[in-house]
A and B are shown apart, each in its own frame.
Chain A
Amino acid sequence: NAGVMQNPRHLVRRRGQEARLRCSPMKGHSHVYWYRQLPEEGLKFMVYLQKENIIDESGMPKERFSAEFPKEGPSILRIQQVVRGDSAAYFCASSPSGRTQIYGYTFGSGTRLTVV
């Protein structure tokens, strides 16, 4: 019973390139959350998705960042034209349901993005 799977674990991109981060939720989980952790800081919420729907993207930067969770396949966080300030750890979490489920928030191991 695999947990939340994120890949790659480490990603290096040059400034201006695109970064694609993938997250496969736990089996049976249909809610996915993306968080960003800047160095020496706590995690900050970015976006909350269900299959084929973005529920809340209030934490996403307005430009260059996008997220999707298609009917089939993993959730993707895409960062276009990366800049040095995008260097961070990006965590994905999943849960079996939304509002009625307070408990049961499982994080993946994160993707560490380094922009050079």
Chain B
Amino acid sequence: AQKITQTQPGMFVQEKEAVTLDCTYDTSDPSYGLFWYKQPSSGEMIFLIYQGSYDQQNATEGRYSLNFQKARKSANLVISASQLGDSAMYFCAMREADQTGANNLFFGTGTRLTVIP
């Protein structure tokens, strides 16, 4: 089974509107972290937001917020007041605190967001 599933290959949003990018995850580890990264056309991976599995509140970072629904195993990214510079690929990722200490990230296949002027 896929650890991280992003079902939206592409999304369009009008400038200044809000958009939600979906992410579901699969793990049996009670301790894990969820991440969202932005990859613009230049290629670098930019960290956006983090949610820990034990965090009681949804994470927020400026215009980014994470809608964490633990029972549904979903961690959707909400971008408010979209800007043209938000056009990029967005990747959801998960890190499990397993016993081996090999804390690698599992990535989804990404969602390409296009902001329309």
A residues lining the B interface (CB < 8 Å): 33, 35, 41-45, 48, 55-56, 58-59, 89, 91, 93, 95, 98-103, 105-110, 112
Inter-chain contact count A-B, CB under 8 Å? 72
Asked whether A110 lies within 8 Å of B43 as measured between CB atoms, the reply is yes
Asked whether A99 lies within 8 Å of B106 as measured between CB atoms, the reply is no
Across the interface, name the chain A residue whose C-beta is closest to B34: A102
Asked whether A42 lies within 8 Å of B102 as measured between CB atoms, the reply is no
Asked whether A102 lies within 8 Å of B52 as measured between CB atoms, the reply is yes
Instruction: Determine which residue in A42, A44, A93, A103 has the highest number of CB atoms from chain B within 10 A of its CB, and name it.
Output: A42
Asked whether A59 lies within 8 Å of B104 as measured between CB atoms, the reply is yes
What mask results when residues 92 to 112 of chain B are scored 1 for a CB within 8 Å of chain A, else 0? 010101101111111111100
Chain A residues positioned under 8 Å from B45 (CB to CB): 43, 91, 107, 110
Given A102-B31, A110-B45, A56 contacting B104 (CB threshold 8 A): yes
B50 at the interface (CB under 8 A from A): yes
Chain A residues positioned under 8 Å from B52 (CB to CB): 102-103
B44 at the interface (CB under 8 A from A): yes
- Give the contact-size bracket for chain B: 20 to 34
Kindly state the separation between the CA atoms of A27 and B109 in the bound complex, as whole angstroms: 30
Kindly state the separation between the CA atoms of A109 and B110 in the bound complex, as whole angstroms: 18
Kindly state the separation between the CA atoms of A18 and B95 in the bound complex, as whole angstroms: 32
Chain B residues positioned under 8 Å from A41 (CB to CB): 109-110
B12 at the interface (CB under 8 A from A): no
Residue of A42, A99, A112 near B110 (CB, 8 A) is A42
Chain A residues positioned under 8 Å from B31 (CB to CB): 102
Chain A residues positioned under 8 Å from B105 (CB to CB): 33, 35, 43, 45, 93, 105
Across the interface, name the chain A residue whose C-beta is closest to B109: A42
What mask results when residues 80 to 98 of chain B are scored 1 for a CB within 8 Å of chain A, else 0? 0000000000010101011
Chain B residues positioned under 8 Å from A107 (CB to CB): 37, 44-45, 47
